[in-house]
A and B are shown apart, each in its own frame.
Chain A
Amino acid sequence: MTVDGTTLTQIPPLAGAGAEPIAGKARLLRLPRSPKVVAGLGVLALFGLGALIGGWIAPYSPNATDEAGWVQHVLVTGTGPGTNLAANYYPLPLPPSPAHWLGTTVFAQDVWSQLLASTQATLFVGLLAAAIATALSILVGVSAGYLGGAADEGLSLLANVFLAIPGLPLLIVLADYVPSAGSSILLVALIIAVTAWAYSARVLRAQTLSLRNRDFVEAARVTGEGPVRIILVEVLPNLIPIVAASFLFTTLYAIGAYVAIAFLGLAGSPSSSPPGLWNWGEMLRQGFANNAVRGGWWWWWAPPGICIALLGTGLALLNFGIDEFVNPRLRLAGITARTARKAGVRLRASLGATPVLRRARKTSERAGAG
């Protein structure tokens, strides 16, 4: 729901090193150095940490309600003293305070504790679904690409069919019918994976197809190695960057999908029985359903949304980094605005007027002296 469907498509056949010889060694080192990758990894690490230690640092249980101590109560108009109805109070969520860093919900629950619990489940389901989907896409995509012929026709058709059927409606119908889907994390992940594998399978198929005709695979085949061994030893290792990119991409999609179905109330609510897990979508659903927007209780529904957007941005940045690693052209020839500015060049038109930058050159000395 939050994913750009085309980031993966321009990956060229794994063309070894690029055309110009100057990149060379620097390219390998560039992946971890790129600011996009660093930022992406940082965000992921933050959320990963939150998911891991969330259970310990959460000040309250996400389900704990303490209306007496925490929540401001408002008298319902038309009840209580002066009327002939018994006094009736409703709780009001409290804005962030030292006791409740992110305030409380209308149920007098601690938002920060809910957020921590939700991070864990959201990440877990997202990664699990992505892992299942990636495994599926490798199975289908690589087999289709390597086997060719009727197997390829059939598997490609399968992928294309799943790609053509809109994901969320399918997800909704599946989650709606599968009994108690919400209470089983594995089931939720599985359902999401079913709608998420097709795109990666198509990308992997195309890559395998181009690898299949390379000399080293040809050589392995001629020496009589079996298809399974060739796929595992010769083909798969060369697909790793693509698999990694598609895993990230699928994780992004899976988290978006999980949050979406949870928002629709299809992924199980912590208050239902059997209870589902706290997740960002569920927090948003509760906020939305209880008029948190209208009530101005932003601290309730904004944090989970911002978390989704941040995590999504982090994954997307990492994905860009891998994309640029696989397809060096996307790096805009390695010049950032900053280096250009430092060199005194205005990068306006990027084509058709090579900049002329005369300077006192040390070149001739260097070349002359050796």
Chain B
Amino acid sequence: MDKLQFLVFVSVALFALGLLGVIVRRNLLVMLMCMELMLNGVNLSLVSFAQQTGTASGAVLVFLIFVVAAAEIAVAIPIVLLLVRRKRTLETDAYSDLKG
């Protein structure tokens, strides 16, 4: 297994761990952080492929993902704050008002 293959494996594993965290953890903030982990996994894969092909496009996408992540957090944290203010809990199962 060469270096780049290893990094791609790591990126897949990180993405999977992040998604697993979103699925299994009950804490809203932890879920948010797991999403960040997913983004990091994607970033790693992009950087690896950019290295492999020698083009800058992957790096550009990484840069854009940074911006998206920042924007996401900027909106998500206030929402979480409001949710907690309403129900005094970070437990996601409490927020099922839109249940069909």
The answer to whether A and B belong to the same complex is: no
